[in-house]
Structure 1
Amino acid sequence: MGHRDDSRDSGKRTLRRAFLDVRNRLTADDVRAAGAALAARALELPEVAHARTVAAYVSVGTEPGTVELLDALYARGVRVLLPALLPDHDLDWGEYAGEGSLVRVRHGGRMELLEPAGERLGPEAVTSADVVLLPGLAVDTRGMRLGRGGGSYDRVLARLERADARPALVVLLYDTEIVERVPDEPHDRPVRAVVTPSRVRRFPGE
């Protein structure tokens, strides 16, 4: 049993490296253009278009850009929740109130993250969201997501499950990151949709 888990973990690590290598070759212009296209597509998604509260995140480095989407949601009067990383890698949440409401936070030796500057609402705040936008590195044809391996969003998804909260789970990716299959665990749940700069793909299994 342990051996199979080790090989699955090793497969995930190899896959993550491969996707990150491709992302790391993108230019700032590539990331910006993808972010603009991604925002336009995500805003057309009915779940996002009708949401009152969206839990999102601020993209870093060569992740598909989210700031344009955050600003568009905020301008519509949507309540946008953004994560703040806790020491144990769980996520607290705060409200987005425009670009001036973000502060740079360095977590140990890790990269700086942009986090909400205002009041912390607690880890349970995510359970009030109608839509949860998830970061990731890939999603497969079943809707299974490959995360970055930090475990923060596994906790978020487990928290939603415990609260019997059923927001629409949506992953934001680049076009090349929809693949045939990613390694998954028995507790993994499929997402409802993936949004890339050129398309939206929905998954019936969720």
Structure 2
Amino acid sequence: MLRRGFLSVRTGLTDDGVRKSAAALAVRALELPELAHARSVAAYVSVGSEPGTLALLDALHARGVRVLLPVLLPDNDLDWGRYEGAGSLAPVRHGTRMALLEPVGDRLGPEAVSGADVVLLPGLAVDGRGMRLGRGGGSYDRVLARLERSGADPALVVLLYDTEVVERVPAEAHDRPVHAVVTPSGVRRFR
């Protein structure tokens, strides 16, 4: 029910509002020291009214950062491919879900995320503890568990709208807090 509420608010956003928020998110995110010094960033391509990522992906790519993007596997785990600009993306439909933009090049394997300096995570909300509410598919829970198992310790950053930073979201034992949330109006750090 909580997820539906956040998704409902997003559905009500105008295209112009989404575009303006995406531009502000890119500016704010690029000010993060973690991204300023990153050689490799695992990110994602926003869909629909999600907080926009394409401007940020393009800026990182233009800086020479190795940008990894997810490829959804049949079991909801994620493989990874390189982002080489907007022309390196293709829409892929997974069953009845909305088509996702995925990288068209070589697949690097699920473990490729372990080499990222920063992981940009999608979400619906984050709370004052840094706990992230995802969409419920478990893809990024697997990514975070994989990072932990490998001993990798990238900066974990979630991109959200201002209204999605809330007092508390439900958390389970396997959930991991993020290090920061970036919204169009600023950055909030945790830990």
What TM-score bracket applies, with the shorter chain setting the length?
over 0.9
Q: Tell me the residue number matched to 1:21.
A: 8
Matches within 5 A, 1:1-206: 14-204=1-191
Local SS of the residue matching 1:84: strand
SS in 2 for 1:39: helix
Q: How many residues end up aligned between the 2 structures?
A: 191
Cα offsets for 1:152-187 (capped at 9, x unmatched): 001000100110110000000000000000000122
Quote the residue 1:8 is aligned against: none
TM-score (norm 1): 0.92
**1:96-148 deviations in whole A, cap 9, x for unaligned?**
00000001101111110000000000000000000000000000000000000
Percent sequence identity is: 79
Gaps of 5+ in 1: 1-13
Match of 1:195, SS?
A: strand
Deviation at 1:189, TM superposition (A): 1.4
TM-score by length of 2: 0.99
What amino acid is aligned across from residue 91 of structure 2 in structure 1? R
Structure 2: gaps of 5 or more residues:
none
Task: Please report how far the alpha carbon of residue 188 of structure 1 lies from its aligned counterpart in structure 2 after TM superposition.
Answer: 1.5
Q: Distance in 1 between matches of 2:93 and 2:7?
A: 21
Deviations 1:18-46 (A, max 9, x none): 10010000011111110000000000001
